Amino acid sequence: MFVEGGVPDRTLFHQFLGRHPQLHRVRPAALEGVRAEAATPEAVAKFFAAFRLVCREFGITRAAQVWNTDESMMNAEELMEGAGSAVVTDDPSARAEYVIPSVQNGSEAASLVATVCADGSRLPLFVVVSGSGGRFPFAEIAQEDGFTRRTPLAGYLDEGAEVHRREKPGFDGPLWEVFAGFAARHLGKRCLDEWKFLLMDGCRVHASPVGLHVLKASKVVILMFPSHLSHILQALDNEPFLKTKSNARSGMRALLPTIPRGTKFNLVHHMRVIRRAAFTSLSSVNVLKGFENTGTWPMYPSVIKVDRLVNGKGPVNAARKVDLEQLAFRLGPEARRDMREQVVSFGSISNRGRAIEATNDAMLKATDELAAVAASKQAAKDKHQAAKISRAAESICQAAHAEAATAQLRCSPAVVARKESLRRRAARARAAAGPVASYVCARGAVVQVEPRPKRQQQAAGVMGMGGQG
C-alpha cells in the first residue's frame, strides 16, 4: 500500500473510499463568471414560482405533460482525441499513441437536438450537420461494383429522426421554425386535448414568432429559463447531456478500429456515434434523474443546493440562510408580473433574472412587433446594400465605357494623322539643327545645380568664415 519513500499508493486511496461510502469522487467543471453571477436564490425562486403558476393555469398535473428541449454539439475531432484509454506498460518513457483518421469535409461537427419528457420518454432525434443541401441529406456509399448508393442519413438514427444541413451546425431562424414544426407534430400526438409544458433556454433564436405560434397551436406552452441558469434548472444539462459526450467518446473508441486505414471519418460514422450516445445517455433512467436533480418534476425547489447560489459572492451572501420553497411562495406575485412583462433589450425580449412565458398573448404580440421591426431594418439594409452594389457596378461600367472611348479615340484617323504630323515636324527640326552635342546649354537656358545636404552647407559656411578671418 506504500511505495518507495513511504508515499501511499492508489490501493490505500481506494480502500479509504470503500470504508467511507458517503464520499464520492467528483470531477470539477469550469463555470463561466456570468453564470456564477446570475445564479442567485431570487432568480431560481422566481423561476419555480412562475413554473407553479403556469402549471396551475394550464392544468399541468402529470409528468407526461412536462418536456424539455436543448441541443448539444458533437465535434468529431474532439471526440476522437478524447477516445483514448489508459494502457499499462513497463517502459516509463513510452508514449501511448493511436492514429486517428482525417475527417471528411462536412463531417466535422453535428448538433444533436433532444426533447425529453418527465415520464422518461423522448421525441425522435433532430440532428443538424454542416454543409448545404437542406432537409434529409444523403450519404453516398461506394459499392463493390463501382457504383455509389445514396442513403438518407436519418436512416442511421432511430425511427422518425430528421437530419438537416446548415453551413454552421446549430439553429438559425428558419431552421428553428422547422424544428418547431417537427416538435409540434410529435407533441400534438401526446396527451390529446391537454396542454403540454415545454421548458427551454432563452436563446434569441428561440423567440421566433412563427415557431412560437406553431407550438401554441399544438397546445404547447413555453416557459424560458432565466438567462445563464440552464446549468442549474435544465434537466437535459444535468444528467443526460453530461453523459452524452462520455458515451460518444466510448462509441468513438469502439468505432475507430473498424475504419479502414487510409479512409476518412464521414457522416455515416458520425451518425452511428450519435445514435449510440443518444441510446445510452437519453435513457429513461437518466431523463428521470435529470428532472429530479433539477427539481423541475416533481416540482421541489429545495433540491437545488443553496450553497452554489450564495458562495463566492461575498461574506454577506455566504452567511445567508435561504429556504427556496418559502422564497418562491413569497415571490409569486412578482414572478407573475415579470413572466408576462415585455422588457426589450438589444432587439429581443430580455429574460435576465426572470422566467418568461413565451407563448403568452402579450409576449407573442411583442415578438411579432420585434420581428416586424427587424424585418424592416433588414429590408432597409438590403436596399442600402443593393444601392451600393448598383453604384459600384455603374461606376465600373462608366470606367469601362470611358476606357473604350479613349481607346477608340486613340485609334481614330484624325488622332493618328495628328501624331504623324508632329513626328514629321520634330524630324524636320532635328534635321535643320544638325548634329548637337549632348548636354549643351542653349542661350537663355537656366541650369539647376543639385542641392547639397544641409549639414554640408553649414560646414562649408564655417570654413569660409574661418578662411576670411
Write the pLDDT tens digit of every residue in 142-154: 777 777 888 888 8
pLDDT at 469: 41
State whether the Cα torsion 414-418-424-428 is positive or negative.
positive
How far, in Å, CA of 255 to CA of 250, rounded?
Answer: 9
Question: By mean pLDDT, which of 85-99, 208-222, 376-390 is the weakest?
Answer: 85-99
Tell me the mean pLDDT in the region 216-225.
95
Beta strands in 135-280 (DSSP E): 138-142, 148-152, 162-166, 196-200, 220-224
Segments making up each domain of the chain, as ranges:
40-80+100-358, 360-398
Mean pLDDT rounded to a whole number for the chain: 86
| List of residues 6+ apart from 388 with CB closer than 8 A | none
CATH of the domain spanning 40-80+100-358:
3.30.420.10
Q: What pLDDT, in 10s, does the model give residues 152-187?
A: 888 899 889 999 988 888 898 899 999 999 999 999
| Cis amide prior to 298 (ω within 30 degrees) | yes
Burial of 181 (0-12, 13-18, 19+ CB in 10 A): middle
Residue that is written with C-alpha cell 504630323 in the block = 421
The C-alpha R_g of the chain, in whole angstroms, comes to: 37
342 touches 366 (CB < 8 A): yes
pLDDT at 260: 87
For residue 396, CA distances in Å to 11, 388, 408, 410, 457 come to 79, 12, 18, 21, 52
- In the chain the first and final C-alpha atoms are separated, in Å, by 103
Tell me the mean pLDDT in the region 236-265.
89
Residue that is written with C-alpha cell 458533437 in the block = 74
DSSP class per residue in 70-123: EEEEEEHHHHHHT-------S-TT-------PPBPTT-SEEEEEEEEETTS-BP
Which position has the higher pLDDT, 4 or 289? 289
Torsion of CA 156, 160, 166, 168, to 10 degrees: -70
Tell me the mean pLDDT in the region 284-291.
94
Supply angle C-alpha 384, 389, 395, rounded to 5: 125
Q: What pLDDT, in 10s, does the model give residues 25-42?
A: 877 778 888 888 899 999
How far, in Å, CA of 144 to CA of 439, rounded?
Answer: 85
Give how far the C-alpha of residue 37 lies from the chain's centroid of Cα atoms, to the nearest Å.
22
How far, in Å, CA of 344 to CA of 350, rounded?
Answer: 6
How far, in Å, CA of 190 to CA of 317, rounded?
Answer: 44
pLDDT at 318: 80
Residues in a beta bridge with 357: 223
46 touches 328 (CB < 8 A): yes
pTM: 0.79
